[in-house]
Amino acid sequence: AAGVIQSPRHLIKEKRETATLKCYPIPRHDTVYWYQQGPGQDPQFLISFYEKMQSDKGSIPDRFSAQQFSDYHSELNMSSLELGDSALYFCASSLAVTRKGSPLHFGNGTRLTVT
Amino acid sequence: DAKTTQPTSMDCAEGRAANLPCNHSTISGNEYVYWYRQIHSQGPQYIIHGLKNNETNEMASLIITEDRKSSTLILPHATLRDTAVYYCIVKGNQGGKLIFGQGTELSVKP
């Protein structure tokens, strides 16, 4: 079965640079979520989109923005990168409404290293 | 979403059943119990979810108590590849984020 695809798998940037992470959800899923996981931490929710509109917002820095496009893929844009932004970034997708619960399915993440 | 409580760590012998408990005493009527696991540096993997009935799939079984205040994830024959952090998360039926708290670090030993 098709899974959530994230690109790139690894990214190395310098401080103050920008980065763009991409996420392709499971076909027919209408909701995309972004998570950040620092070393030794649990995944932290950043932001989500339903039908191309922002649906929820978590601890996403103002330097970050995201959007969902008409084909449902999503991009996380990160500017003025800081050393502390080094982390794994996961994307997940789901169906917004189902009769039997709506599990999120995660991609394998992008490992961002800021030097 | 209701808060969950899990043991910090557990060990299990290879080939034996792994029983991972979770308390969710404040769960509300329309909230599901979800289980995920994360193998080191990989994306969280969905395992199973349930509302009030016990559930089983190819990966695991989920036993939910009648009052729904606790549940147990059962891996019937644990292998070394089941070593991971297991998260029990309560979430409503509608679409919405998962909030990851402290999970259980399961170590399967030969």
Residue A99, pLDDT above cutoff 90: no
Question: How far B25 CA sits from the closest chain A CA (Å)?
Answer: 19
Q: B60 near B106, Cβ under 8 Å? A: no
What pLDDT, in 10s, does the model give residues B19-78? 999 999 999 888 999 999 999 889 999 999 999 989 999 999 999 999 999 999 999 999
- Cβ neighbors of B44 (< 8 A, separation 6 or more) are A43, A90, A92, A106, B36, B37, B38, B87, B98, B100
Question: How far A97 CA sits from the closest chain B CA (Å)?
Answer: 5
pLDDT at B13: 97
pLDDT at A112: 98
Picking from B44, B95, B99, the nearest residue to A94 by CB comes out as B95
Kindly determine whether residue A108 and residue B43, on different chains, have CB atoms separated by under 8 Å.
Answer: yes
- Cβ neighbors of B13 (< 8 A, separation 6 or more) are B78, B108, B109
Residue B93, pLDDT above cutoff 90: no
| Alpha carbon B49 to its chain's center | 8
What pLDDT, in 10s, does the model give residues A33-91? 999 999 999 999 999 999 999 999 999 999 999 999 999 999 999 999 999 999 999 99
Binding-face residues of B in 42-71 toward A, CB within 8 A: 42-46, 49-51
Question: How far A34 CA sits from the closest chain B CA (Å)?
Answer: 9
Q: How many CA atoms lie within 13 A of B30 on its CB side?
A: 7
User: Residue A96: which pLDDT band, with cuts at 50, 70 and 90?
Assistant: confident
Which of B25, B93, B39 lies closest to A108 in space, CA to CA? B39
Kindly determine whether residue B95 and residue A4, on different chains, have CB atoms separated by under 8 Å.
Answer: no
User: Residue A100: which pLDDT band, with cuts at 50, 70 and 90?
Assistant: confident
Residue B95, pLDDT above cutoff 80: no
Residue A16, pLDDT above cutoff 90: yes
pLDDT at A98: 67
pLDDT at B67: 95
